Amino acid sequence: MCRIAVLLVLAIQVGSAQAAPVTVKNLRMWQAPDHTRLVFDLSAPVEYDVGVLTGPHRVYLDFPRARLARGLPSIHADGRFVKKVHSGSPRPGVLRVVFTLKMAAEPKVFHLKPNEVYGHRLVMDLRDRVGRENKTIVAAPGGSDNFIVAIDAGHGGEDPGAMGSRRTREKDITLAIARELQRLVGRDPAMQGILTRNNDYYVSLRRRTKIARSAKSNLFVSIHADAFPQRSVRGSSVYTLSTRGASSETARWLSNKENAADLIGGVSLRDKDDTVARVLMDLSMTKSTSDSRELARDILRGLRRVGRVHRNRVEYANFAVLKSPDIPSVLVESAFLSNPREESLLRTGSHRRKVAAAIYEGIRRYYERRHPGARPAVYVVKRGDTLSEIAQQYRISVNTLKKVNNMSSDVVRIGQKLRIPSG
Does residue 115 lie within any of the structural domains? yes
CB 208 within 8 A of CB 196: yes
Which of residues 70, 94, 128 is at a domain's end? 128
Residue 134 has pLDDT above 50, yes or no: no
Residue 140 lies in a domain: no
- Does residue 42 belong to any structural domain of this protein? yes
User: How many domains does one find in the chain?
Assistant: 3
Residue 393 shares a structural domain with residue 266? no
Quick one: 105 and 89 in the same domain? yes
pLDDT value at 77 more than 60? yes
Are residues 311 and 392 both part of a single domain? Answer: no
Beta strand pairing call for 417-420 and 377-380? antiparallel
Do 101 and 190 have their domain in common? no
Inform me whether the pLDDT recorded for 146 exceeds 70: yes
381 and 351 belong to one structural domain: no
Is pLDDT of 209 > 70?
A: yes
CA 345 → CA 165, 187, 209, 306, 309, distances in Å?
13, 25, 29, 11, 14
Q: Quick one: 53 and 95 in the same domain? A: yes
Kindly list the strands in the beta sheet with 105-112, ordered across the sheet, starting from the edge strand earlier in the chain. 66-68, 22-31, 36-42, 120-128, 105-112
Contact 353, 393 (CB under 8 A): yes
Whether residues 331 and 386 share a domain: the answer is: no
Q: Is residue 244 predicted with pLDDT exceeding 80? A: no
Task: Provide the residue range defining the domain that includes 388.
Answer: 377-420
Of 100, 128, 156, the domain-final residue: 128
What is the pLDDT at residue 275?
63
With respect to residue 313, please indicate whether it lies within any of the assigned structural domains: yes
CATH code of the domain in which 321 resides: 3.40.630.40
> Which region holds residue 2: left if phi is over 0, alpha if psi is between -120 and 50, else beta?
alpha
Specify whether 83 is located in the same domain as 40: yes
pLDDT of residue 110 exceeding 80, the answer is yes
52 and 190 housed in the same domain: no
The mean pLDDT of 30-42, rounded to a whole number, is 90
Strands, E, within 293-400: which ranges?
A: 315-317, 329-336, 377-380
Q: What is the CATH number of the domain that holds 383?
A: 3.10.350.10
135 lies in a domain?
no
> Strands 329-336, 315-317: parallel, antiparallel or unpaired by DSSP?
unpaired
Q: Which residue has the higher pLDDT, 216 or 137?
A: 216
